[in-house]
Structure 1
């Protein structure tokens, strides 16, 4: 019995064969032969779609907490019509329930949208890495549908990777950064198979947002990812990378919730859902760990990529400054009001007091005089604005900009943008908040959670801006030119995406100056 035949829900078929059902060309289900076997997809709005193709073996049983292993081949034709089950999730936004209701443990699958499946098309390829603070994330969410982007003449790939403690817990006896290793395995699958779907393996662009943007930054620094992509896009890159001691200490607290030690041997038989729940339990009380864990405890960040000396030997900024990935063309950017969404979720929009602002400045502003420098640079800012600025800068804005600056200084080419268009949702109160770029870049303005930012009926202005951003991303994937000049430390020109787009000097110069000498080290264990 083949792997595909024995796996529940794999829908491997025999009698119809690779040709599939008969019908006029263009209406027949698309069939593609991959290195692992033949898959049959569907067609949606003129685009061939393949879902749930395994790129690695299910990381369960003997493979729990192991580096990803290549998926076994199958015989016959595998139906590729449904997304694979998501990996275990944290409880944020009900994602744990979505994962719990899924059938099967084949968490590591890819999905492909192609306007022209076939080995001769040689189209640019965009590989999406979703965010979710490294604790949630699944490729089957409607906001990540790749169809609209693919209609710009590119092949779009999305995939699942292990998140939370399954993917990033620092456990004795397990490799660090398993979630990042999953991403490398998915990119390896793309390199080996994408030509059959109409893609050019020499023109692969990896792009991601938030933790996905942080993953893109990590991939730029990882030797095992070298050669797997030609271009990279980091959108609102999450700037947290842990020292091994911090990661191990947090993992120990999570394992202790289950009465276990933080070792692969102790945890390998634990129900993944219980382990995810243990991570949630620690997250709910992270503030009490602040004297030991520092800023991640204040922001409830229990996992992040670990600078372990093996999978990830340096932070992305260290690696890029040293010339790593100099030949990779880079596109990076952030939204203007990154923090606003989180402030709203916390119920603090318009409610931040002076004590909360002062505490945020003390915790997150760089250096011993960082708080004073913020107050000097923004003399008219009230508590709400100061709170928002320092949170936005620490977690997303300045780490993202520094990628471009480090890359450019080392001789690489980088383009920078800032999304300054205010989301119409919630009466415009969210501004240009974190996550607003996702529906605009992927073109899914009317579906999924990010559509709440756009409003019930997307306006012509939103549609036009989305079209502009999709064109920029796909042009960059095709030839490295998004449509505006490369960034340099003289003029600092960036693209501003707004109702009236413009190229201008980087608008967050005061924040840039405050963070100019900050090294963005791996976050340490304090005591």
Structure 2
């Protein structure tokens, strides 16, 4: 179906009938509620069932978003904030609306944004290219910041994760009406969304709700429950309230957001001037806090377990996993930071091998010695976790179902392959709003290549290159010289094995 085709009959869901709008290569249903508005009596609770509606609900435009303010400095992605209460919703892009027997594979997308920002209404998450290639796409929302992840005495932890699980349950119960197969669901996300994917792989409550997973730049970091409680108590004390459900409900949303900003401070050049050894030690000891994030998934052993321990236990060994990161991620110039030689000296003292250090040196010399410190921290935050997860899965019987990629195409604007840059290629949306501002004149041939990998993985649960069982540090490289590099993550794998001490 194309954008000028006749209207599609409404689709019945557990909440009621919905109508969509013609969209390139199919139909789009925008902002279908999967849970009740998390306000009033539902505020700070687990997601509650949405009241059924009568008649046909028109889903032809994006509704309210959990992101309440614009956060343009957090990501390079245009991510609109839309006011309103009905924030727990999802959008479906399908080439087979109203065809319950179509049995198409399903992609469920979880946006990033540091667990406090991001929007499911971004033009970078339009599912038209996947619809063209026979995939049903679902883009979900979840509560953010303190609302989704803050500790409250008497309220459930991990409300944002519970929202993601509720959305997956909606997909299980309803996606067949949109032409999707509930037994062929791939969850995918980038940054905090990629971290959410790894969290869901380790969540007993999410077991059985998806059959494959893709994690882009997924930082492996969760808060321990005592840490989350300490932050919650400090936050309540700052606002002069009791840290209880009643106390928090007495504070309006605006005041919480204003104060939350003081707890969430994304590091910038002024904040990363320590030595490489000190920075890596901080990242290793407190991965979430070192990224300036006070609110993130909390290990409660019920909804959320530590991904590394769960992988070692084999819980998700049967789930095919595609994961990786951009070559440069959060790399930026830090005035007055350590030199390349200082960083290499720290790595040598830590016991990192000469071959792995040579790989790091090559990367820094490629982009400039002014990036030596931030490149090292970036490697540890985003690339080393991917290598570590792959190694763990290989060590515990899941290597044949694990594949690594390495996004290495430099932007024509910055000269770097940075955080978020791979998304327009994966979604085959180089013409989307804001893409040319970030990437310049990006090659369509690379978008065809990366997008085809996603479609194949979502459809068949495999890729055309070797799994990590064969070469644990190897990965498929997108951009640069391309092809398969069996040592793509050798430095990151070594970095993850050693503590760095000055």
Q: With structure 2 as the length reference, what TM-score do the two structures score?
A: 0.86
Give the structure 2 partner of residue 432 of structure 1.
417
Of the three residues 22, 32, 51, the one matched with 1:43 is: 22
Secondary structure of the 1:184 match is helix
Give the structure 1 partner of residue 246 of structure 2.
265
Deviations 1:457-498 (A, max 9, x none): x44xx2111111111111111111222121126464321111
Number of matched pairs: 475
For the residues of structure 2 that align with 1:435 and 1:466, how far apart are their CA atoms? 14
Q: Is 1:62 equivalent to 2:53 in the alignment?
A: no
Q: CA RMSD in A?
A: 3.2
Residues 395, 378 of structure 1: alpha-carbon distance in 2 compared, 3 angstrom cutoff: closer
Q: Which moved more, 1:302-311 or 1:376-385?
A: 376-385
Q: Please list, as runs of the form range in 1=range in 2, the aligned pairs for 1:155-166 lying within 5 A after superposition.
A: 155-166=136-147
Q: Please list, as runs of the form range in 1=range in 2, the aligned pairs for 1:482-493 lying within 5 A after superposition.
A: 482-488=463-469, 490=471, 492-493=473-474
Give the structure 1 partner of residue 228 of structure 2.
247
Unaligned runs of 5+ in 2: 273-278
Q: Is the 8 A contact 1:360 1:390 kept in 2?
A: no
Q: Is 1:392 equivalent to 2:383 in the alignment?
A: no
Deviation at residue 388 of structure 1 after TM alignment: 2.7
For the residues of structure 2 that align with 1:358 and 1:246, how far apart are their CA atoms? 33
Q: Is the 8 A contact 1:127 1:205 kept in 2?
A: yes
Q: Is the 8 A contact 1:360 1:387 kept in 2?
A: no
Deviations 1:284-305 (A, max 9, x none): 59979x99x9554443122221
Secondary structure of the 2:304 match is coil
Of the three residues 118, 122, 135, the one matched with 1:154 is: 135
For the residues of structure 1 that align with 2:188 and 2:252, how far apart are their CA atoms? 32
Deviations 1:209-254 (A, max 9, x none): 0000000000000000000000000111022211112222223333
Unaligned runs of 5+ in 1: 1-23, 519-527
Of the three residues 284, 305, 314, the one matched with 2:297 is: 305
Q: Which moved more, 1:164-173 or 1:263-272?
A: 263-272
Residues 47, 296 of structure 1: alpha-carbon distance in 2 compared, 3 angstrom cutoff: same
Q: Which moved more, 1:278-287 or 1:258-267?
A: 278-287
Give the structure 2 partner of residue 213 of structure 1.
194
For the residues of structure 1 that align with 2:254 and 2:205, how far apart are their CA atoms? 30
Q: Is the 8 A contact 1:357 1:384 kept in 2?
A: no
Give the structure 1 partner of residue 102 of structure 2.
121
For the residues of structure 2 that align with 1:119 and 1:28, how far apart are their CA atoms? 17
Give the structure 2 partner of residue 353 of structure 1.
337
Q: Which moved more, 1:435-444 or 1:503-512?
A: 503-512
Q: Is 1:466 equivalent to 2:481 in the alignment?
A: no
Give the structure 2 partner of residue 338 of structure 1.
329
Give the structure 2 partner of residue 414 of structure 1.
402
Of the three residues 288, 304, 317, the one matched with 2:308 is: 317
Secondary structure of the 1:67 match is coil
Deviation at residue 56 of structure 1 after TM alignment: 0.5
Q: Is the 8 A contact 2:65 2:84 kept in 1?
A: no
For the residues of structure 1 that align with 2:142 and 2:344, how far apart are their CA atoms? 32
Secondary structure of the 1:92 match is coil
